[in-house]
Amino acid sequence: MKSFRGVMAGALILEAITVGLAVPVVARLGGGVGTVGGWAVIGIAIALVACCGLLGRPWIVPVILALQVGLIAFFVSQVAIGIIGLLFLAFWLWALWLRRDVARRMAQGRLPSQQRQSD
């Protein structure tokens, strides 16, 4: 489903921007950007952008979900970043459910584009 890859790419870029905007929070409240937490946030943001180029691979969805778990792990040190992880995890779970539902409807022939037009 190529259209879903476009949605995934857009969501990954938006998430990378959001995580990137959290870097000043880490710099101010988390001990600085040079700490392990600061580098981890920067690394996750870069990994999210890198995932955009790998969306055709079958293993990318577990990688994306693992990055969400990495963000959620920040609850220990930075609650705000953990909340970002939870929000985007909720989005990804919803998007994956939606993809499964569309695939099921497509297999059953129930999509509006698969219906015959009556004259």
| Cα 46 from Cα 62, distance rounded (Å) | 17
pLDDT along the chain (119 residues), means of 10: 87 95 83 80 94 93 95 90 95 94 80 70
Backbone angles phi, psi at 28, to 5 degrees: -85, -45
Give the pLDDT confidence score for residue 83 in this predicted structure. 94
Give the pLDDT confidence score for residue 61 in this predicted structure. 94
Coil vs helix vs strand at 32: coil
Coil vs helix vs strand at 78: coil
Give the pLDDT confidence score for residue 119 in this predicted structure. 56
Identify the CA nearest to 15 among candidates 98, 71, 53.
Answer: 71
Give the pLDDT confidence score for residue 29 in this predicted structure. 76
| Cα 85 from Cα 45, distance rounded (Å) | 12
Neighbours of 44 (CB within 10 A): 22
